[in-house]
Amino acid sequence: MTVSCGIDWAEGHHDVAVVDGDGRLLAKLRISDDIQGYRALLELLAAHGDHPETPIPVAIETSRGLLVAAVRATGRPIYAINPMAVARYRERHTLSRKKSDHQDAMVLANILRTDAAAHRPLPADSALAQAVTVLARAQQDAVWDRTCLHNRLRSLLREYYPSIISAFSGKRDGLISREARAVLAVAPTPARAARLTLPQLRSALKTAGRQRGIDAEAKRLAAVFRQAWAAQPTVVEDAMGQHTLALLKQLDAACEAAAELAAAVDEVFGQHPDATIITSFPGLGVITGARVLAEIGDDRSRFADAAGLKAFAGSAPVTRASGRTVRVMHRRIKNNRLAAAGRHWAFSALTASPAARAHYDRRRDHGDRYAASLRRLFNKLIGQLHHCLQSRIEYREDLGFPTPTTPAA
């Protein structure tokens, strides 16, 4: 008799349902989110035929948390089902659109009973790979938060402080740079910036960590701030200055968090055995490489072939056919974190690898646009990464991009 288990996850408690191969409910239980609840879950599974050689599979709507970690530690297969898919499965069992925690647990259990082959269990990643995942995703979130705060700050400065935007428009990091943030901290309004003396500007630049060309940079900033600029009324300008200082504190915290997490990622990622292979690829540094490893993991059985990994990353196209209409489009359902890392990877490979640049240029000459050409380059690179990780070899450009041969006449 095939038995499957479904768990409807909640913050304070979890509803458990166990069904047999015919869909009959064998047991239901509400457990607490603590060690006693986890123990009760394992006892319930053991009472219905759970065995180390034939463990009962568990379906749940999340892949994270202590409950998942506790069940995962026992070696049982865990299926993280997308909540959207669960909502569609729920409609198979009821038309009245009623919903309850116990019913959702039953739906999850029946998903494994009928369609387990259509879903994949959580990969058996090592603890080190899971640590890389935590840190890489946190660092990626910090960078996204930093970018969001930068955009909000720049939008605010455009309304009353164009001189600061002009002063740092040519800088590599723009308003995110430490120098721009140090100047904004001492002069949050254009009126205060125009009154800054050269010693005050030099002090701000030194605080930001600048060591060379301080005098010339201070004179340049002073000249920009003392030009004639359009201005808001004084009261409005002061209010916007207070708003800027509040946003600046958040931006400083986001920049500091991103830097600290990047250092942590560097330390942990370097300990992983796959790090050498991943960073051998052109355009893959420590941070981007860690983000790639965080999403694909180190369970080599997770993707049966390179095509599965390409679909997971969103680089492989998807075909929509109906009657005589056939459309080949890029994937919208994908791992967004891996897709974002892939864009950085492909863009960096353009300057790091002449062969990758030639491949990109061929796609552009073929008629692809910028985004499509980058996506095709990423598609090729991630397929090569799958092969290298499976074979435990480092990247070789002469094999990854062999020289095209001209057919004989």
**Distance (Å, whole) CA 380 – CA 372:** 12
377, 360 in Cβ contact below 8 A?
yes
Q: Is residue 408 part of a domain?
A: no
Give the other-Cβ count within 10 Å of 84's Cβ. 10
Q: Is residue 125 part of a domain?
A: no
The predicted model gives 326-338 an average pLDDT of 87
Domain end: 61, 83, 118, which one?
Answer: 118
14, 71 in Cβ contact below 8 A?
no
Q: Backbone phi, then psi, for 209, in 5-degree steps?
A: 100, 5
- Per-residue pLDDT of 357-385, as tens digits, reads 999 999 999 999 999 999 999 999 999 99
Together in a domain, 100 and 138 = no
- Per-residue pLDDT of 19-70, as tens digits, reads 988 888 999 999 998 899 899 998 898 888 877 778 889 999 988 888 898 8
**Distance (Å, whole) CA 16 – CA 260:** 40
Q: In this predicted model, which residue has the larger pLDDT, 21 or 1?
A: 21
168, 162 in Cβ contact below 8 A?
no
84, 71 in Cβ contact below 8 A?
no
Q: Is residue 123 part of a domain?
A: no
Together in a domain, 237 and 307 = no
Together in a domain, 373 and 394 = yes
Together in a domain, 188 and 311 = no
Q: Is residue 199 part of a domain?
A: yes
Together in a domain, 299 and 251 = no
3-state DSSP assignment of residue 321: strand
pLDDT at 206 over 50: yes
Together in a domain, 168 and 200 = yes
The bridge status of strand 25-32 relative to strand 325-330 is unpaired
Together in a domain, 229 and 328 = no
- The pLDDT value given to residue 407: 57
- The pLDDT value given to residue 71: 87
- Per-residue pLDDT of 128-173, as tens digits, reads 999 999 999 999 999 999 999 999 999 999 999 999 999 998 888 8
Please give the angle made by the CA atoms of 350, 353 and 355, to the nearest 5 degrees. 95
pLDDT at 112 over 70: yes
Q: What is the dihedral of CA 245, 247, 249, 251, to 10 degrees?
A: -140
**Distance (Å, whole) CA 204 – CA 221:** 11
Together in a domain, 139 and 230 = yes
- The pLDDT value given to residue 409: 45
Q: Is residue 263 part of a domain?
A: yes
Together in a domain, 298 and 378 = yes
- The pLDDT value given to residue 172: 82
- The overall average pLDDT reported for the chain is 90
What pTM was estimated for this model as a whole? Answer: 0.86
278, 385 in Cβ contact below 8 A?
yes
**Distance (Å, whole) CA 282 – CA 149:** 31
**Distance (Å, whole) CA 70 – CA 42:** 10
Which H or E run includes 5?
Answer: strand 4-9
261, 135 in Cβ contact below 8 A?
yes
Residue with tokens 């768990």: 7
Together in a domain, 104 and 176 = no
Q: Which two tokens stand for residue 215?
A: 């005098």
Together in a domain, 51 and 95 = yes
137, 127 in Cβ contact below 8 A?
no
Q: What residues make up the domain containing 33?
A: 4-118
227, 197 in Cβ contact below 8 A?
no
Rg for the chain, CA atoms, rounded:
28
Q: Backbone phi, then psi, for 329, in 5-degree steps?
A: -130, 165
Domain end: 267, 292, 327, which one?
Answer: 267
What's the number of domains the chain is made of? 3
